[in-house]
Amino acid sequence: MMDQLLQKSEAKQKEAWKVVQQSGVVLAWESIGAEVRLVGSLKMGLMIKHQDVDFHIYTPELSVTESFKAVARMAENPSIKRVEFINGIQTDEHCIEWHAKYLGPEGEDWQIDMIHILKGSTYDGYFERVAERILAILTPETKRTILELKDITPDGEHIPGIEYYQAVLRDGVRTWDEFAAWRQSHPMNGVAHWCP
């Protein structure tokens, strides 16, 4: 019989896939010729509690107008309740960030994070490679530990997934107390540059 924690994770991932399908996010970006790649916890099968879906979206040029076109198409969906825009074109990340609030079928809030990245720039494919490496070294025991730590994280406390992965996979963290201490000694500022 499947462990309750894994069942909870599988159920949450099924919900997330419905959000992806019903939100129209992929079609909206493909309508401007973008390449859409799923990243983050849903991609790695490590989603359990935090209701957000992450996409990296690539185009050969970064156009605010084209980016807005894609998001406008997506925002026609009545379940999209709010959209936030952050212009990072002039930063080292060469991106436009979009964060959409989506109202799920049961009335639950989901966040859809869409990072529109300049193809060929510094972070083109970077996080996809990190995800591949994490999946390559993940074991049933470390997967369960990551899911458990995520599940017992206090509501309202947002911890980037990479912190759990780095703590468990690189530094052997196994309990919440160890994780809390690890976070104090490993403060994260900006983009995490860790790849297993």
Encoding tokens for residue 80? 């999209």
CB neighbours of residue 149 within 10 Å: 22
Domain ranges of the chain: 4-128, 137-185
Provide the residue count of the chain.
Answer: 196
HSE (side-chain half, CA atoms, 13 Å) at 58: 15
Of the ranges 67-71, 110-114, 192-196, which one carries the lowest mean pLDDT score? 192-196
Question: Are 142 and 169 contacting, i.e. CB atoms less than 8 angstroms apart?
Answer: yes
| CB burial readout 92-103, b (16+ within 10 A) else e | ebbbbbbebebb
The pLDDT tens digits of the residues spanning 66-84 come to: 999 999 999 999 999 999 9
Which residues are bridge partners to 109 per DSSP? 103
Encoding tokens for residue 112? 């859809």
Question: Across residues 30-57, what is the average pLDDT?
Answer: 96
CATH number 3.30.460.10 is the correct assignment for the domain at 4-128:
yes
Contacts of 79 (CB under 8 A, 6+ apart): 22, 23, 102, 103, 104
Q: The pTM is what? A: 0.92
